[in-house]
Amino acid sequence: MANKADQHQTSLGRTVAKLGLAAAGMFAFGFLLVPLYDVFCEITGLNGKTGGRYEYTESDVIVDESRQVIVQFTASNNAGMSWEFRPMQSQITVHPGELVEVKYYARNPTGERMIAQAIPSVVPFKSADYLHKTECFCFTQQVLEAGEEVEMPLLFFVDRDLPKDVSKMTLSYTLFDVTQNFAGKGNTLSAN
Amino acid sequence: MLPTIKKTVNKLWSRAALAVLATMLPVLGLAAGMNMPEGVTEISRATHQLHMTIVWICVAIGVVVYGVLIFSLIKYRKSKGAVPATFHHSTKAEIIWTAIPFLILIGMAIPATKVLTQVYDASESELDILITGYQWRWQYRYLTEEGEEVAFFSNLSTPDEQIYNQVEKGENYLLEVDEPLVIPTNTKVRFLLTSADVIHSWWIPEFALKKDAIPGFINESWVKVEQPGVYRGQCTELCGQLHGFMPVVVNAVEPAEFEAWFAEKQAAAAAIAEMANQDWTLEQLVAEGQTVYTTFCVACHQANGQGLPPAFPALTGSPITTGPIEEHINIVLNGRPGTAMAAYGGLLNPVQLAAVITFERNALGNSVGDMVTPVEILQIQQAAE
Amino acid sequence: MATGHDDHHHGPAKGITRWLYTTNHKDIGSMYLWFSFAMFLLGGTFALVIRAELFQPGLQFVDPNFFNQMTTMHGLVMVFGAVMPAFVGLANWMIPLMIGAPDMALPRMNNWSFWILPFAFALLASTLFMEAGAPNFGWTFYAPLSTTYAPSTVTFFIFAIHIMGASSIMGAINIIATIQNLRAPGMTYMKMPLFVWTWLITAYLLIAVMPVLAGVVTMMLFDIHFGTSFFNAAGGGDPVLFQHVFWFFGHPEVYIMILPAFGVISEIVPTFSRKKLFGYDSMVYATSSIAFLSFIVWAHHMFTTGMPLAGELFFMYATMLIAVPTGVKVFNWVTTMFKGSITFETPMLFAIAFVVLFTCGGFTGLMLSIAPADFQYHDTYFVVAHFHYVLVPGAVFSIMAAVYYWLPKWTGNMYDENLGRLHFWLSFIGINILFFPQHFLGLAGMPRRIPDYALQFADFNMISSIGAFIFGFSQLLFLFIVIKTVKGGKKATAEVWEGSHGLEWTVPSPAPYHTFSTPPVVK
């Protein structure tokens, strides 16, 4: 009898341990969803997320003269961001594979040194994966002294595999004030 | 005696209830045309049709299921001497009622997929408009090849007196704005949506168009309106205190009329610069500032300037509005990081900025007596260089 | 070991310590049920504040910010305070009795999982009295409204959620351990009563998703206090990610609130039809498929966030599929009644209303699954009507049905049948007047979570508010009936109902403090 009760206790203990582990595992899984989601976004272009700096090879930039795509640029400020921020050209027409440079303008009208981060987003979503940025002001934070202005370059090309039904894409940047996030360590940043 | 009365009462209860229900459902359904609108676009009509089809499929299934249920409840009562059967399983029946719903679902999925594919095709647009959600107003920017020459805010225009029941409510109560979005009819208009703060959602039922505006990201959708008219909707994603008070109003006009309106807006934008250079008196600025304050500031700082502390400080007697004017201008233009106070320097024109600052110093119980002119605001904005 | 201990303690301890220190599944079950009823009244009060404000257009009683606090607190209290603890209470009381176990497998943990709950809700409710006010970002607490733009009390909310989650997870572990280890000899899985089956599946769902909820509020906590950017676009995060993680929890959560209800109805309908449940096996399989599907449909709550077309289609198709197993359940219940010998005691009235009105909620659910149509329904009163049809005449009616069904077993007294029926009819009529018009409000264009509305919505809102007050005040009658039954009444037999079936009806009424100290043998 006692033996049976012991057996019972061990099997109960095992059940509880397994379930406890499962719960802990699901807690970890909740956090795992974050990188999983990023991978998912990169693959599907969800939310128009674009990849980081694109390392291109010669074969990437063979120009497809037979096709033209309009790339439209917009700029928005998040609430509380006082910079003047706008694209210096509203749109351009490019051939897929053609490496082009455009510029955004920013000015800090306040009396304080400020740090900003630009966040890109592309529509249509299915085209986000085909817009390759080789150089972008959004790769780093922007630091502007009081009253300072800057022209910020963006180098990109459109992939030749861009789906055929896409004739116009919009690249949008939203500017966020991140000065407070970098309070005290702003010196390590460089403006470009 | 008593039990019989109780029984009668019970019967009356159930009959009354059934009668109420039986009459209520169809009456409600028919009442006042409270249904999804057919709308004024190809998509909205297709959506409406999809909706009605599913409703009728559900009604048909409901008639069968409820029919069998009600039949059983009447026929197989113990009080009527029903003797229970003993069956409790039938593979055949179970396969049938798994398979039939499955087929019905496929029948629904096909048209739904078609409509959805159409909704997602925003290519080949003739006009692009960037819609930005703010707490608690919409901003519309027309994107042309030359840039953004026309941009404006669209604010709720229903007066507080109506909301607080002091005067009779108007016909378009809570669904009216100071400046509606204007678009041409029979033109594919593409909307880009984003937000400057929290998530909002832009909805016009008659376009069957609802899309979230998400801070940091853009979404796209499109519309091709067939009939001129004024179409009204609301923000549909909880976005804070005044979520219920940020309507969407779209005025669809004939293309020619749109061209004229657009040219006028372009001219008006140029005129602002001239207005800034006029001579403004303190009284003029305070009068103008009242309008700006009512539109952009009252939500937080309240009509009487008392604010809603601690989140939204009072302006009456505040060290900002009664202290040095430079600091006051700085906060209005550049906002206050980490708080709800936005940077209005880029949102309002110099006239509005000068007016609202002067108003705040000389109204709401303050009487500092100083003022700032639109020209000075322009200089401050440029001097920073 | 357990039996030896029991020989010396036949009855409960006296006074408050009985409740504080109890490890008895019946005591803990009762406490869960009373707690849940208290929360039901609290959440109901919040709902009545909402409906009072919406009685007429214009702002009358509360300011918009307080209104948002009310919608948020109503949702949180009803979901986490009323519905979930009520089902845990029923599980505590009934699972050991139904499987022939002497108690829950982990009695001390059981005591803990209950006693941390009141603290969680005290923490949450205390925010109402703080200067910054209660959480005002909706029970779905979408970022960044709940992070960057939240009132400072959001931290209290996060800790309250953590405690509720811990309570639910401990409860779920206990239930699974009990069902796996303490079944009476001969009680195989496919002989378990359906209430036990549905709870077993629910418990697994809880273990799978409550930790994810804990994860998402932890991420919020980090974003708010430690400068991370999970949901903040400025730091490379994404507010839409919040919605994905939240609904990964949220959709199974919906089934956590309805699967035990399916179990209750599957117990009651056969009893009062005096006929065995039709399609027991398919009921088990249908419940399992619903649980499985609940993990792959979450983004149907997010059709308007702008997912890629392929994503929209996948989640639309997966969601539509749920109609199949749900349909099987409804057909099985109806077929159980077909050719039965039916009587209409209060539990059966609630159960029939469940079948009818839950099916209504199912229909609107099917409509909502159609993505292009959902663009019109999303975040309107149509959705409010849909989920209230599933949760109130669904989950809540099933809880009331369960209370009337098992109350004689718990107290040894029969409840007053006439009052019970009166309570049913008032609730049934009230609920339909309350929620049916909301379908039309939504279709005609009224968004949810707004404190004031355009004039064309006035009539239906007024009707809806009247229904709310009928339904709300009828629940005081429920309280009265239960207290009256606890205090006395006609003595109940062990079987209680003519058509009753299962182990719980083999013990005397009221069920003794300790039951099945020697396991019964199931043939």
Per-residue pLDDT of chain A (192 residues; tens, 9 = 90+): 445 566 667 788 888 999 999 999 999 998 998 888 888 777 665 666 666 777 777 777 788 888 899 999 999 988 878 888 989 898 999 999 888 999 999 988 777 888 999 999 988 888 888 888 888 888 888 899 888 889 999 999 898 888 888 889 999 999 998 888 776 544 344 333
C465 is catalytic: no
Tokens linked to C363: 């229909």
Closest-CA distance of chain B to residue C340, Å = 4
Q: Is the pLDDT of residue B116 over 70?
A: yes
Q: What does pTM read for this prediction?
A: 0.89
DSSP state of C13: P
Residue C245 vs residues C94, C290, C301: alpha-carbon distances, Å: 33, 20, 12
Tokens linked to C423: 């309570």
Q: How far is CA A99 from the centre of its chain?
A: 20
Tokens 């009934």: give the residue: C94
| Mutation site, A73, A110, A166, interface B, largest B CB count within 10 A | A110
Least CB-CB distance to A119: which of C173, C208, C234? C234
Say if the Cβ atoms of A15 and C210 lie within 8 Å. no
C251, C386, C388, C409: which is the annotated catalytic residue?
Answer: C251
Tokens 């049948």: give the residue: C417
| Mutation site, A1, A7, A16, A136, interface C, largest C CB count within 10 A | A16
Instruction: Give residues 44 to 103 of A whose Cβ lies within 8 Å of C.
Output: 44-47, 49, 78
DSSP symbols for C271-320: HHHTSPPTTHHHHHHHHHHHHHHTTS-GGGGGGGG---HHHHHHHHHHHH
Beta partners for residue C438, in sequence order = none
For C422, list phi and psi in degrees, rounded to 5: -60, -45
Tokens 């989640």: give the residue: C315
Q: Which residue of A has its CA nearest to C148?
A: A79
Q: How far apart are CA A176 and CA A30, in angstroms?
A: 27
Q: Which helix (H) or strand (E) holds B141?
A: strand B137-144
Which parts of chain C have pLDDT scores under 70? 1-10
C22, C168, C294, C411: which is the annotated catalytic residue?
Answer: C168
Instruction: Give residues 366 to 385 of B whose Cβ lies within 8 Å of C.
Output: none
Closest-CA distance of chain A to residue B131, Å = 10
Q: What is the pLDDT of residue A4?
A: 59
Q: What is the pLDDT of residue B173?
A: 94
On whether any CB of chain C is under 8 Å from the CB of A113, the answer is: no
Say if the Cβ atoms of B196 and A149 lie within 8 Å. no
ipTM > 0.95 for the complex: no
Q: Which long-range contacts (CB under 8 A, 24 or more apart) does B320-326 make?
A: B321/B360, B321/B361, B321/B364, B321/B366, B321/B368, B322/B361, B322/B366, B322/B368, B325/B357, B325/B361, B325/B368, B325/B370, B325/B372
Q: Is B1 exposed, middle or buried (0-12, 13-18, 19+ CB in 10 A)?
A: exposed
Q: Give pLDDT tens digits for C241-270.
A: 999 999 999 999 999 999 999 999 999 999
Q: What is the pLDDT of residue A170?
A: 92
DSSP state of B225: -
Q: Which residue of C has its CA nearest to B49?
A: C373
**Which residues in chain B have Cβ-Cβ distances shorter than 8 Å to A84?**
346
C386 is catalytic: no
Return the percentage of chain C with pLDDT > 70, whole number: 98
Tokens linked to B303: 């009509």
Instruction: Give residues 164 to 183 of A whose Cβ lies within 8 Å of B.
Output: 165-168, 170, 172, 174, 176-177, 179-180
Which subunits count as partners of chain C given 3+ CB pairs below 8 Å?
A, B
Q: SS3 of C76, please?
A: helix
**C240, B217 Cβ separation under 8 angstroms:** yes
Q: What is the pLDDT of residue C360?
A: 92
Pick from A94, A189, A175, A104: nearest CA to A145: A189
Beta-carbon contacts of A175 under 8 Å, excluding residues fewer than 6 positions away, are A75, A76, A77, A78, A81, A83, A85, A106, A116, A117, A118, A119
Query: What is the distance between the terminal CA atoms of chain B, rounded to a whole angstrom?
Result: 97
Tokens linked to A59: 């074969």
C113, C266, C369, C398: which is the annotated catalytic residue?
Answer: C266
Q: Is the pLDDT of residue B5 over 50?
A: yes
Can you tell me the mean pLDDT for B10-37?
62
C103, C223, C374, C504: which is the annotated catalytic residue?
Answer: C103
Tokens linked to B252: 């669809």
Q: How far apart are CA C119 and CA B170, in angstroms?
A: 48
Tokens linked to B104: 């019905």
C253 is catalytic: yes
Say if the Cβ atoms of C375 and B25 lie within 8 Å. no
Q: How far apart are CA C346 and CA C420, in angstroms?
A: 6
Return the percentage of chain B with pLDDT > 70, whole number: 90
Least CB-CB distance to A77: which of B148, B346, B383? B346
Return the percentage of chain B with pLDDT > 90, whole number: 43
Q: What is the pLDDT of residue B10?
A: 61
Q: Is the dihedral of CA C429, C431, C436, C437 positive or negative?
A: positive
Q: Give pLDDT tens digits for C324-337.
A: 999 999 999 999 99
Q: Give pLDDT tens digits for B217-240.
A: 999 999 999 999 999 999 999 999
If you count residue pairs, one on A and one on B, with CB atoms under 8 Å apart, how many are there?
Answer: 114
Reduce the secondary structure of C373-405 to three states and give it as a string. HHHHHCCEHHHHHHHHHHHHHHHHHHHHHHHHH
Q: Give pLDDT tens digits for B331-348.
A: 888 887 767 788 888 788
**C437, C464 Cβ separation under 8 angstroms:** yes
Q: What is the pLDDT of residue B168?
A: 92
Q: How far apart are CA C102 and CA C471, in angstroms?
A: 38
